[in-house]
């Protein structure tokens, strides 16, 4: 979740993850204040703040929705009373989040400190107490372990109003790429991967600014060769205005 203070409009970081060791994430976060919404895969695991990166306030953020799904289970069988209580405790946090959607980061943080923090503290105590009574192979125990092992990441939202409680938005943003790569499979080379990352960054930036990516790219590619270099900012998605059509100009 970028928070580069130099950005004046929504834009994602542009990079291509060559390895599964989180190198690209480390490079992206090195000099910026950011929070990473991530599933607990190896790439995100390697973003655990070290001495250098912690000074730049790099933070991982795990998905509460994933824990809720694990507690609820995938079967259609009736949910156990213990699992139901876990889900209800998490749902209470989501209910608070619904009341602060659209508010500023500072407003969200203030409400979370007042209302969510006590519920989170109670949830941790309850989870640890109940986990001690369950066997290692129990499905609910696995869901509890998943959350407790990542407790710091799960509770980041209390101190940072920019961070969302669920990870759903980040997962939705990546779904198109995850489905598409089944078709194209390879980038061809490292340089091909870098170019793909740049193109994806442009497309997602247009979407984040409510601009049709296809219309924007078609217009910009047709204009950019003759456009003054010192006015290139005019073609960025948050500044872009399509040229009036010839028919419209003649009618005017």
Q: Where are the beta strands (DSSP E) in the chain?
A: 34-37, 58-61
Q: What's the total number of domains in the chain?
A: 1
How far is the C-alpha of 140 from the C-alpha of 122, rounded, in Å? 18
Residues contacting 143, CB < 8 A, separation 6+: 67, 70, 71, 83, 86
pLDDT of residue 39: 56
End-to-end CA distance of the chain: 44
The first and second tokens of residue 80, run together, are: 């156990």
- Helix, strand, or coil (residue 59): strand
Within a domain: 91: yes
Residues contacting 148, CB < 8 A, separation 6+: 124, 127, 128, 131
How far is the C-alpha of 140 from the C-alpha of 209, rounded, in Å? 41
How far is the C-alpha of 167 from the C-alpha of 147, rounded, in Å? 14
Within a domain: 129: yes
Closest CA to 219 of 198, 252, 241, 202: 241
3: pLDDT strictly greater than 50: no
Contact assessment for residue 153 and residue 62, using Cβ atoms and an 8 Å cutoff: yes
Within a domain: 70: yes
> Poorest-confidence range of 26-35, 77-86, 156-165, 207-216?
26-35
How far is the C-alpha of 73 from the C-alpha of 75, rounded, in Å? 6
How far is the C-alpha of 198 from the C-alpha of 192, rounded, in Å? 10
23: pLDDT strictly greater than 70: no
175 vs 111, higher pLDDT: 111
Closest CA to 155 of 116, 103, 108, 127: 116
Contact assessment for residue 22 and residue 47, using Cβ atoms and an 8 Å cutoff: yes
Within a domain: 236: no
231: pLDDT strictly greater than 90: yes
Within a domain: 55: no
Within a domain: 134: yes
80: pLDDT strictly greater than 80: yes
Residues contacting 113, CB < 8 A, separation 6+: 158
Q: What's the rounded mean pLDDT across residues 50-76?
A: 49
Task: Assign 3-class secondary structure to 211-224.
Answer: CCHHHHHHHHHHHH
Using a pLDDT cut of 90, give the percent of the chain over it: 40
Domain extent for 71:
64-145
Tell me the range of 27-36, 114-123, 192-201 where mean pLDDT is highest. Answer: 114-123
pLDDT band of residue 157 (cuts 50, 70, 90) is very high
Within a domain: 185: no
Exposed, middle or buried: residue 200 (CB in 10 Å: 0-12, 13-18, 19+)?
Answer: middle
Within a domain: 175: no
């Amino acid at each position: 979740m970028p928070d580069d203070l130099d950005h004046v409009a929504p834009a994602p970081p542009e990079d291509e993850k060559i390895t599964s060791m989180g190198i690209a994430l480390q490079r992206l976060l090195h000099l910026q204040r950011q929070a990473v919404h991530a599933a607990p895969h190896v790439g995100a695991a390697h973003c655990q703040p070290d001495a250098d990166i912690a000074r730049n306030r790099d933070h991982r953020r795990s998905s509460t929705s994933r824990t809720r799904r694990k507690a609820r289970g995938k079967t259609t069988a009736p949910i156990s009373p213990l699992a139901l209580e876990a889900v209800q405790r998490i749902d209470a946090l989501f209910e608070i989040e619904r009341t602060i959607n659209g508010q500023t980061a500072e407003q969200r943080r203030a409400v979370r400190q007042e209302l969510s923090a006590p519920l989170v503290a109670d949830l941790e105590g309850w989870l640890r107490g109940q986990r001690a009574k369950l066997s290692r192979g129990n499905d609910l125990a696995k869901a509890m372990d998943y959350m407790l092992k990542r407790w710091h990441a799960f509770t980041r939202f209390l101190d940072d109003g920019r961070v969302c409680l669920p990870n759903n938005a980040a997962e939705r943003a990546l779904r198109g790429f995850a489905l598409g790569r089944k078709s194209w499979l390879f980038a061809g080379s490292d340089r091909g991967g870098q170019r793909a990352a740049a193109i994806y960054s442009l497309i997602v930036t247009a979407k984040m600014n409510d601009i049709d990516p296809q219309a924007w790219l078609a217009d910009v590619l047709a204009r950019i060769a003759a456009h003054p270099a010192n006015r290139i900012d005019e073609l960025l998605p948050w500044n872009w205005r399509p040229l009036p059509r010839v028919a419209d100009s003649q009618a005017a």
